[in-house]
């Protein structure tokens, strides 16, 4: 029986992929060290899958799961910009060495396909919108660099060791179960905790910046299309097909707002050109931003233990950001 190995399967995107596959009665193995993933994310279907607590950045018995005909959905990574500037070694170890170990495990078995979750952050500040896959890659901070390095490894290992892959460059993924870590990071995690505790939304810069927010179920759909397609060894953007301003997000969420200093190294727009994935994988996004936000608001208690960020806390947390990424 075909098996699906999901690294980072107890995390945000991974738990949604695992849940989808479990409902389809597929054989699923989750590899996760629970550094950012949560058992609560998979508790409703944990009995239907195999969970292996492990650290893929280290060689271990988890490699024994790589047997038979398998799809590998490699989602495990540490994310967020600020901590990647503070702890670059941690990010390199997880996102690069972890990917290398997964690739070497793939060499030892019949991998039907490796699906890699790349990041739109690798484009840096693009010159073209919507941004095509052929655009230059100019990562601005260690997290983006390590995700690009992971993709480079996969491309090279594919050529040398004949490992079929598809790399999906994900744009601003949001949805239920998104991170609630103690680090300052993903916007929706910050905003939802602020809303839950009736605090003002901290808007960076003018709030006129636009983002290509992609709902997590659409990402799951893209991953499944990538698995099931005969196409291999290609890179695709995954986005919503449109952009929305931060001010509009705040308007939908409803609440007071406060403006904080614009950060260097962040683009004013993220906007994926998704013509390739629509044409070649027959995939298209379905969830509009209003629907996606409403789904998150229905589950807002998920963020009850998330840190509640204030301007002073953000200033302290982003001190190194301004120090190292400040525009010359």
Q: What residues act catalytically?
A: 143
Q: What is the CA radius of gyration of the chain?
A: 19
Q: Which two tokens stand for residue 245?
A: 């301003």
Question: What whole-number distance in Å separates Cα of residue 290 and Cα of residue 45?
Answer: 28
Check: CB of residue 312 under 8 Å from CB of residue 319: no
C-beta separation of 10 from 42 below 8 A? yes
Q: How many CA atoms lie within 13 A of 286 on its CB side?
A: 9
Helix runs in the chain, H state only: 12-23, 81-86, 88-92, 98-106, 142-161, 187-196, 216-228, 246-253, 275-280, 289-298, 311-317, 319-325
User: Among the residues of 167-254, which ranges form H helices?
Assistant: 187-196, 216-228, 246-253
What's the sign of the alpha-carbon dihedral 83, 86, 92, 93? negative
**Residues 272, 128: Cα–Cα separation, whole Å:** 10
Q: How many CA atoms lie within 13 A of 253 on its CB side?
A: 29
Paired residues of 244 in beta bridges: 211
Q: Which two tokens stand for residue 173?
A: 């993924």
Coil, strand, or helix at residue 244? strand
- Are 113 and 156 within 8 A, CB to CB? no
What the block records as the tokens of 153 is 């490894």
The answer to whether 78 touches 13, Cβ cutoff 8 Å, is no
């Amino acid at each position: 029986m075909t098996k699906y190995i999901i690294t980072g399967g107890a995390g945000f995107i991974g738990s949604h992929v695992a849940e989808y596959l479990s409902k389809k009665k597929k054989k699923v193995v989750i590899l996760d060290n629970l550094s950012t993933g949560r058992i609560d994310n998979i508790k409703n279907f944990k009995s239907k899958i195999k969970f292996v607590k492990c650290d893929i950045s280290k060689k271990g018995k988890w490699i024994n799961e790589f047997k038979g005909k398998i799809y590998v959905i490699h989602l495990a990574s540490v994310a967020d910009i600020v901590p990647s500037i503070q702890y670059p070694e941690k990010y390199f170890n997880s996102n690069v060495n972890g990917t290398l170990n997964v690739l070497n495990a793939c060499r030892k078995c019949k991998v039907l396909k490796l699906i890699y979750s790349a990041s739109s952050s690798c484009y840096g500040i693009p010159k073209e919108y919507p941004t095509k896959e052929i655009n230059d890659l100019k990562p601005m901070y260690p997290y983006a660099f390590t995700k690009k390095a992971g993709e480079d490894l996969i491309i090279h290992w594919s050529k040398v060791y004949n490992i079929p892959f598809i790399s999906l460059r994900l744009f601003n993924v949001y949805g239920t179960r998104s991170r609630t870590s103690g680090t300052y990071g993903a916007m929706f995690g910050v905003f939802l905790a602020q809303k839950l505790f009736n605090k003002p939304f901290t808007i960076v810069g003018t709030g006129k910046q636009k983002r290509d927010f992609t709902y997590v179920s659409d990402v799951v759909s893209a991953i499944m299309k990538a698995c099931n397609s005969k196409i291999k060894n290609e890179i695709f953007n995954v986005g919503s097909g449109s952009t929305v301003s931060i001010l509009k997000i705040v308007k939908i969420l409803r609440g007071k707002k406060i403006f904080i200093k614009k950060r260097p190294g962040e683009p004013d727009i993220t906007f994926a050109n998704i013509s390739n994935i629509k044409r070649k994988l027959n995939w298209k996004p379905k969830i509009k931003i209003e629907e996606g936000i409403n789904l998150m608001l229905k589950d807002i208690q998920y963020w009850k233990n998330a840190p509640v960020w204030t301007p002073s806390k953000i200033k302290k947390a982003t001190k190194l950001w301004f120090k190292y990424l400040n525009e010359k």
